[in-house]
Amino acid sequence: MIDLRSDTVTKPSPAMRRAMAEAEVGDDVFGEDPCINRLQEMAAQLLGKEAALFVPSGTMANQLSIKVHTQPGDEIIMERTNHPFNSESGGLAALSGVQVNLIDGQRGVITAPQVARAVRHGDNIHNAPTRLVCVENTHNRGGGNIYPLETIREIHDVARHEGVAMHLDGARLLNACVASGLPATAYTQYFDSCTLCLSKGLGAPVGSIIAASADFIRQTLRYRKMFGGGMRQAGILAAAGIYALEHHVERLAEDHQHAKLLAERISTARGLRINPQDVETNILFIHLDPTEARMDARGLQQAMRERDVLASMRLVTHLDVTRAQVEQAAQVICEVLDA
């Protein structure tokens, strides 16, 4: 099977498995796991923050960060299609008791003037005070697009003026870095907290990072324990993250090339609507024109599955998909739609 459903389906390489097997471990709740400590130091340096914390998932990383930034009854601002609102099981309400002020963006990107209009202050007792602005980069539902750095800087300026914190959902931040040629710190310098997922394109089996000030991470430790994220001899998992940061970052460019190739190959298929120019990293969304396509989305997915291609209307390339498999998947999609 050629699996294009997500970059979360990646499996540890043999070399990564060896690193995991050889990992030196300790009790991380006591701060005694050497592999986790090393991973956290590496991540903090990479992201330009004082400290970092290893957690089981990107969802937990976002929810912990939001918990530390806010109090129940506060409001946070984010674009309508952001991951914490759409794909984290209502954690914002259940875990932090915050409400969300959703802004309609363009492919997941909102602007500084939009944020400025949305900020609400606690001096009006009728309002939930705005405490946090959340940005997602790259933006999943935007098609893996890169948040413009200048836009981030402008939003940061508004947030600082209004006394509002900034959080970066950087699950695929390194995709943005590799594609743009910018270091991670070019983006993270504008955020009070940021996350990084190790188990997507980087290929580790488990884990995400939160990076922020040392005081922020100290507060996060308590909530990590409260949320059930305190792990013991988890250096086996951290070793995979270390290997990923040392060996799998620059190769993300290959995934981007494959996604662009896939978009180009299928762009002329009957009834398919896709603009290859919109593909910036490793994610592309396809749309069917009901007036031309001979099947609906469910039919297309079933037809692809019957030909050994697992995919939805979102196609994601990753380290377990070769160029030859991309070519094969493109051929299957074109054959199915043009038949």
Query: How do residues 250-304 score in pLDDT, each as one tens digit?
Result: 999 999 999 999 999 999 999 999 999 999 999 999 999 988 988 999 999 999 9
Q: CA separation (Å) from 318 to 100, 282, 283?
A: 32, 7, 9
C-alpha–C-alpha distance, residues 155 and 70, integer Å? 19
What is the pTM (predicted TM-score) of this model?
A: 0.96
Q: Residue 332: exposed, middle, or buried by beta-carbon count in 10 A (0-12, 13-18, 19+)?
A: buried
Do residues 221 and 131 both lie within one domain?
Answer: yes
183 and 86 part of one domain? yes
Last residue of a domain, one of 202, 226, 247: 247
pLDDT at 58: 97
Give yes or no: residues 225 and 257 share one domain.
no
Question: Are 95 and 110 a contacting pair, CB within 8 Å?
Answer: no
Residue with tokens 């996604």: 259
- Using DSSP, state whether 135 is helix, strand or coil: strand
User: d(Cα 203, Cα 318) in Å, to the nearest integer?
Assistant: 8
Please report, for the domain that includes residue 77, its CATH number. 3.40.640.10
241 lies in the same domain as 262? no
Average pLDDT, the chain: 96
* Residue 57 falls inside a structural domain: yes
Mean pLDDT of 52-68: 98
Number of domains in the chain: 2
Residue after which a domain boundary falls, among 247, 267, 296: 247
User: Are 213 and 49 within 8 A, CB to CB?
Assistant: yes
What is the residue range of 259's domain?
Answer: 251-338
Task: Kindly tell me if the per-residue pLDDT of 339 is higher than 80.
Answer: no
Name the one residue in this structure whose structure tokens are 């030909």.
307
b/e burial code for range 113-150 (CB count within 10 A of at least 16 → b): ebbeebbbeeeeeeebbbbbbbbbbbbbbbbbbbbeee
- Residue 309: CATH number of its domain: 3.90.1150.10
**pLDDT tens digit sequence for 10-45:** 999 999 999 999 999 999 999 999 999 999 999 999
> How would residue 122 be classed by pLDDT, with cut points 50, 70 and 90?
confident
Residue 294: per-residue pLDDT: 85
Residue 7 lies inside a defined structural domain of this protein: no
Helical ranges in the chain per DSSP H: 14-21, 34-47, 58-69, 83-86, 91, 112-118, 149-162, 173-180, 184-188, 214-226, 235-247, 252-266, 297-306, 323-338
Mark which of 247, 280, 314 sits at the end of a domain: 247
What are 123-157's pLDDT values in tens digits?
A: 888 999 999 999 999 999 999 999 999 999 999 99
- Residue identified by tokens 């935007």 is 142
pLDDT digits (tens, 9 = 90+) for 320-334: 999 999 999 999 999
The answer to whether residue 182 scores a pLDDT higher than 90 is yes
| pLDDT, position 181 | 98
> pLDDT for 61-114, tens place per residue?
999 999 999 999 999 999 999 999 999 999 999 999 999 999 999 999 999 999
| Res 312: pLDDT | 92
